[in-house]
């Protein structure tokens, strides 16, 4: 069974942002967005207030450790298509028609096994290690054909890669995508099939074919528009809680988050932007320090990144450099994907001084200073997310690809 709360958020409309972010503003340059800050305070508090209210009324959440048990992002599956039913060999016979000819029906085809993307499924935990397709029924007398085996569907999450022998055979990245994992065997032929002018009484019938057998490796690469990367304790999960309905655990110790979480930010016009939060990474993660880098696969496909930096620490630009270095170690060129730097914890003393140093170091690059805790300046992030998202949608449309939709 899939846990109902695998970190995937349901709808939460950021009221006010919808009003603040009409499509014309979505095309604003990031630097122009600063002017919106003045009127933002009220809205920020509203957002955090919402989050607190949701916590009070919410159900008991699974702990991050329990979630880890439920969250499965790779699976080896043995799939066997259903066997075809055998053909029948028999002859028609009735009073006054003793030699009525062959009337053995064909066997039914075995059922296929199909992987189908279901948006409600969030991990591979419900996928079993083996599947056997439904067999076709045998053919019968009186030209009765056997019933074909039903198709067996395996529901997988969006972003499932199917590998066989180390090679990628399918990339199921859109809801409703299907892949035939194993073909059902063809049904056998009954003796009626072999009736010919030179053989009026064939006794031959053929058995059904066995179903296809394959060993597949399923690998989940979570799909989201934006991926948050940052050191442990930088406040990624706090930020996701503040802008979406997702409820990743937040605590003051490092490596609180152990699984990827996706939160949905809702905008006007039913537009939704998915933001993924992953465990923190540290320098040397590519050498398996901390929690390693394997979970980067969950943000590998994000269209843009949010580098979350803890502004209360000295020399915050080193965090950005280290994060980029680790991304490069994981996949060359990954750090060059469009991104924005989020300077979190602006409410803390010294943070403002660090902010000016950070901006001086990064030069022209966009830095959004905010506080996930107090909600200060969250709107600037929300508006910028929209700008990045719209740019991505335009780029995908230009290339003739279908943009990722939630």
Near Mg ion by CB under 5 A, which window of 189-197, 249-257, 324-332, 380-388? 249-257
> What is the smallest separation between the CB atom of 280 and Mg ion, expressed in angstroms?
7
Judged by CB under 5 A, the residue of 212, 237, 312, 335 near Mg ion is 237
Q: Which is nearer to ligand GTP, 214 or 261 (CB)?
A: 261
Q: Which stretch binds ligand GTP (CB under 6 A): 106-114, 122-130, 354-362, 371-379?
A: 371-379
Tell me if 72 contacts ligand GTP by CB under 6 A: no
Residue from 227, 235, 263, 316 that binds ligand GTP (CB under 6 A)? 235
> Cα separation of 346 and 358, whole Å?
12
- Interface stretch with ligand GTP, choices 34-42, 47-55, 233-241, 377-385 (CB under 6 A): 233-241
Helix axes 236-243, 41-57, angle to 10 degrees: 90
The answer to whether residue 257 forms part of the interface with Mg ion (CB under 5 A) is yes
DSSP string across 246-279:
------SSS----S-EEEEEEEGGGEEEEEEE--
Instruction: Note whether 206 binds ligand GTP by CB under 6 A.
Output: no
Per DSSP, 120 falls in state T
238 binds ligand GTP (CB under 6 A): yes
Give dist(CA 392, CA 296) in Å, integer: 20
Which of Mg ion, ligand GTP, none has residue 89 at its interface (CB below 5 to 8 Å by kind)?
none
Supply the DSSP string of 316-369, one letter for each residue: THHHHHHHHHHHHHHSTTGGGS-EEEEEE-TTSTTHHHHHHHHHHHHTTS-EEE
DSSP secondary structure code for residue 199 in this structure: B
Nearer to Mg ion, 127 or 281 (CB): 281
Residue 116's Cβ-count burial label (10 Å; 0-12, 13-18, 19+) is: middle
Closest residue to ligand GTP, Cβ-based? 280
254 is a site residue for ligand GTP (CB under 6 A): yes
> Collapsing DSSP states into helix, strand and coil, what is residue 172?
strand
Q: How many residues bind ligand GTP (CB under 6 A)?
A: 24
233 interacts with ligand GTP by CB under 6 A: yes
Report the 10 Å Cβ neighbour count for 213: 11
Smallest distance from ligand GTP to CB 251, Å: 5
Candidate list 345, 354, 386, 392; residue touching ligand GTP; CB under 6 A: 345
Contact criterion met (CB below 8 Å) for 97 and 105: no
Does the footprint of ligand GTP cover residue 236 (CB under 6 A)?
yes
Interface residue with ligand GTP, options 222, 257, 259, 377 (CB under 6 A)? 257
Site for ligand GTP contains 372 (CB under 6 A): yes
- In the block, tokens 């993660």 appear at 285
Kindly give, in sequence order, each residue whose CB lies less than 8 Å from that of residue 363, ignoring residues fewer than 6 positions away.
none
Residue from 234, 341, 368, 381 touching ligand GTP (CB under 6 A): that is 234
Query: Under the criterion CB under 6 A, does residue 212 sit at the interface with ligand GTP?
Result: no
**Spatial separation of the C-alpha atoms in residues 378 and 238, rounded to whole Å:** 12
Applying CB under 6 A, the residues found at the interface with ligand GTP are: 230, 232-238, 250-252, 254-257, 279-280, 344-345, 347-348, 371-373
């Amino acid at each position: 069974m899939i846990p109902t709360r695998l970190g995937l958020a349901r709808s939460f409309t950021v009221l006010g942002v919808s009003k603040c972010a009409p499509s014309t503003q979505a095309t604003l340059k990031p630097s122009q967005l600063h002017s919106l800050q003045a009127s933002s305070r009220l809205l920020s508090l509203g957002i955090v207030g919402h989050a607190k209210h949701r916590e009070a009324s919410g159900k008991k959440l699974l702990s991050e450790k329990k979630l880890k048990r439920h969250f499965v992002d790779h699976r080896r599956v043995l799939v066997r298509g259903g066997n075809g039913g055998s053909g029948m060999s028999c002859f028609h016979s009735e009073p006054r028609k003793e030699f009525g000819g062959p009337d053995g029906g064909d066997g039914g085809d075995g059922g296929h096994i199909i992987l189908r993307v279901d948006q409600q499924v969030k991990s591979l935990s419900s996928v079993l290690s083996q599947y056997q397709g439904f067999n076709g029924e045998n053919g019968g007398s009186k030209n009765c054909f056997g019933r074909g085996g039903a198709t067996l569907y395996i529901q997988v999450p969006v972003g499932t890669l199917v590998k066989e022998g180390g090679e990628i055979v399918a990339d199921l990245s859109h809801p409703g995508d299907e892949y035939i994992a194993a073909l059902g065997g063809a049904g056998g032929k009954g003796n009626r099939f072999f009736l010919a002018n030179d053989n009026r009484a064939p006794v031959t019938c053929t058995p059904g074919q066995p179903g296809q057998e394959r060993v597949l490796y399923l690998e989940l690469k979570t799909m989201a528009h934006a991926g948050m990367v940052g050191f442990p304790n930088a406040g990624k999960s706090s930020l996701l809680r503040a802008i979406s309905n997702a409820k990743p655990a937040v605590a003051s110790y490092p490596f609180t988050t152990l699984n990827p979480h996706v939160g949905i930010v809702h905008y006007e016009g039913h537009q939704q932007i998915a933001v993924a939060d992953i465990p923190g990474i540290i320098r040397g993660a590519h050498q398996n320090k901390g929690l390693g880098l394997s979970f980067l696969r969950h943000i590998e496909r994000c269209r843009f990144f949010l580098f979350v930096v803890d502004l209360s620490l000295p020399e915050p630009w080193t965090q950005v450099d280290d994060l980029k270095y680790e991304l490069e170690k994981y996949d060359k060129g990954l750090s060059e994907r469009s991104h924005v730097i989020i300077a979190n914890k602006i409410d803390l003393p010294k943070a403002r001084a660090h902010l000016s140093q950070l901006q001086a170091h990064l030069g022209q690059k966009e830095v959004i200073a905010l506080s996930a805790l107090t909600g200060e300046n969250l709107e600037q992030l929300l508006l910028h997310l929209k700008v990045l998202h719209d740019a991505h949608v335009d780029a995908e449309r230009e290339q003739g690809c279908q943009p990722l939709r939630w």
